[in-house]
Amino acid sequence: MTSRAVALFKSWAWALVPLWTIGIGTGAIMAHAAVKKRSLWQALTVPFYFASLVLLFAADPDYGGVQEVLFGTAMGLNIGGGLMHAVAIRGWVFADSLRPNDRLVDRQRLAVAAVRQQAEARRTARELLATQPDVARELLIGRPDVPNRQYPDGGLVDVNKVPAEVLGGHLSLKPEVARHIVAIRDRVGGFSSYDDMLLLTNVDPGQTNPVSDLMAFGVH
């Protein structure tokens, strides 16, 4: 077996760790990647996986409700999300032993994998907001203003609940725009959707459209 073949085998064995460890080893290989490549971007994903691992062991699906949701989410993120992430960055992590011209593509894949991971977390969180609002409320989905949250929601901000300074800070909105949105929200009792917010607040869509994917509208 050539050195190239050995390197290829090792890289794929590494990338499949989330699958053959049932998600338990995902955080470890992500930390390995961050240290090996000295990447702050990659390092930012490590706490996300270790938090999910803690949830995996702490949650008991037999109790149902929130416990079942936490367990299922942690399992999906550590196995499914971790596998997609690891496969996407495999070539980047092992670039020194793989083809040099793969490096740029793999750096791009790393960025894409991180964005997709966050988008998937937001999608799952939105489903909970829509179908299980009580569970979503207990998990503090969309509440970056509340410390020590456990559920990874992909950076969602619940426009119907957060203070103006949090709305503006997390969504990069001008302070006066955030204060205006919150004032109208409190006056009308909350918004049912993004379009409803635009209609009632009459804010410039150019201000909010770029961050609309980060907005959530829970029951006020």
* 184: three-class secondary structure by DSSP: helix
- Calpha distance 85→184 (Å, rounded): 40
- Tell me the pLDDT tens digit for each residue of 57-68: 887 776 777 888
CB 73 within 8 A of CB 124: yes
- What mean pLDDT, rounded, does the chain reach? 88
pTM: 0.54
- Calpha distance 207→127 (Å, rounded): 26
- Tell me the pLDDT tens digit for each residue of 78-130: 999 999 999 999 988 888 776 654 566 677 888 888 889 899 999 999 999 98
